[in-house]
Amino acid sequence: MTAQFRCRSCDGVEFYPVVSLGDTPLANALLGADDLLSAEDRFPLVVVGCRGCSLVQITETVPPERLFRHYAYFSSFSDTMLDHASRLVSSLVAERSLGAGSLAMEVASNDGYLLQQYLSRGVPVLGIEPAQNIAAVARDRGIDTITEFFGAATAASLAAGGRFADVLHAHNVLAHVPDLRGFVEGVRLVLAPAGIAVIEVPYVKELLDRCEFDTIYHEHLSYFSLTALDRLWRAGGLRIVNVERVAIHGGSLRLFIEHDRGQAPSPAVAALLAEEEGWGVREAATYAQFGERVAALGRELTATLRRLKDEGARIAAYGAAAKGSTLLNVFGLDGSLIDFVVDRSPHKQGRYMPGVHLPIYPPAHLLATQPEYVLLLSWNVADEVLTQQAEYRGRGGHFIVPVPTVRIV
């Protein structure tokens, strides 16, 4: 880590180590056939914790323009995400009496998977999505979308045009933001006086407890506790008024944020802050053994795959998502152990996984080839995938779930 690295939240310069995963390619940089003979850029994947504010973060910042202007992840291909969005929007529309005179805004709105839920309920929407290819899909669905990175400048422009959010969503984007304080200022500028921001972030406690190391990749700059988040939003003139723990993405926090009027936090906020103090959110010792646990998981998974391969089994993988790229590259799981990957998204099919160069096919390829085992890279939607693949399983196929421990189902 260079002397110039500073905490993205508090600007601190003192850190404790969490884990080093080596040099890896960009997790969503899927390859075409013409790319296979070219060298891939690799970047250090080193995680540290800030002694000043307890924010866990990686030390490398890849320019957002390189990561997000053209993006391979489309939220609408996950039934779990669609159901998650529908239930949340239904409750917010009812609780806050949102209607034709309201505005629902989403930062990193992807293909409109969430905002379409508001639109179908008669609530005007605005998406802010930097990926040009994904924003075009959202517009085709009737979702008003601007193609920008969100921050203070974008928010000031929207506010100057009189566009204020009665509800502002930012799901699984805060971890992608290099300028956290600028993002918070943007929310403050564009949030209506009585508006509410709904922010979802993967929870660092789940990462630690469940050894979810594969959620670490270069797009995810930060890994949040409520303790770190509370300090960040308070410093920007906003307040977390409530928090919920939700199961999405392997365990996340859902924050409800308002303008700071000196209001008391909900009992849920106070309880979780106290719970984090109890498990040592600020202490280096809490994170000290994480790296060895990751290494032990790698040894167990590799030995399992090697044993099955030695017995003559064919092994595929399911889910060409970023977490799958991290797991494959960190553990060195290439074509010597795994034959191919399948994924529901046609935007990924016909391409190759970064680093390990495994080809990506549609899920129907599992039935066409019937490998004995499938490594479930997208373990965060295991129930959805196992249900979808009932025919493959009925024919005798098995899934290997790698996180938090290796198990075969």
Q: Is 350 left (phi over 0), alpha (psi -120 to 50) or beta?
A: left
Report percent pLDDT > 90 for the chain: 85
Q: Which of 110, 109, 117 is nearest to 85 (CA)?
A: 117
Of residues 65 and 49, more confidence is placed in 49
Query: Do 68-287 and 290-408 come out as alike in CATH topology?
Result: yes
Report percent pLDDT > 70 for the chain: 95
Q: Which CATH class is domain 68-287?
A: alpha beta
Mean pLDDT value of segment 226-231? 98
Mean pLDDT value of segment 49-62? 96
What does the pLDDT read at residue 406? 97
Look at the alpha carbons of 215, 200, 141, 159 in this order and tell me if their dihedral is positive or negative: negative
What does the pLDDT read at residue 77? 52
Asked if the model's pLDDT at residue 72 lies above 80, the reply is no
65 three-class SS: helix
Q: Hey, where are the domains in the chain? A: 68-287, 290-408
Encode pLDDT of 169-220 as tens digits: 999 899 999 999 999 999 999 999 999 999 999 999 999 999 999 999 999 9
The third-level CATH classification (topology) of the domain covering 290-408 is Rossmann fold (3.40.50)
Q: Is 185 left (phi over 0), alpha (psi -120 to 50) or beta?
A: alpha
- Are residues 144 and 163 in contact, defined by beta-carbon separation less than 8 angstroms? no
Q: Please, what is the average pLDDT of the chain? A: 93
Encode pLDDT of 104-162 as tens digits: 999 999 888 899 999 999 999 999 998 888 899 999 999 999 999 999 999 999 999 99
Encode pLDDT of 306-344 as tens digits: 999 999 999 999 999 999 999 999 999 999 999 999 999
What does the pLDDT read at residue 69? 53
Residue 2 token pair: 């260079």
What does the pLDDT read at residue 81? 72
Q: How far apart are CA 24 and CA 246, in angstroms?
A: 29
> How large is the C-alpha radius of gyration of the chain?
21
Look at the alpha carbons of 391, 384, 359, 307 in this order and tell me if their dihedral is positive or negative: negative
Mean pLDDT value of segment 399-405? 96
Asked if the model's pLDDT at residue 64 lies above 90, the reply is no
Q: What is the largest CA-CA distance in the chain?
A: 66
151 three-class SS: coil
Encode pLDDT of 252-275 as tens digits: 999 999 999 998 889 999 999 999
Pairing relation of β-strands 145-146 and 191-202? unpaired
Read off the DSSP letter of residue 345.
Answer: -
Q: Which of 300, 302, 200, 196 is nearest to 245 (CA)?
A: 200
Asked if the model's pLDDT at residue 303 lies above 70, the reply is yes
Q: Which of 227, 221, 155, 161 is nearest to 185 (CA)?
A: 155
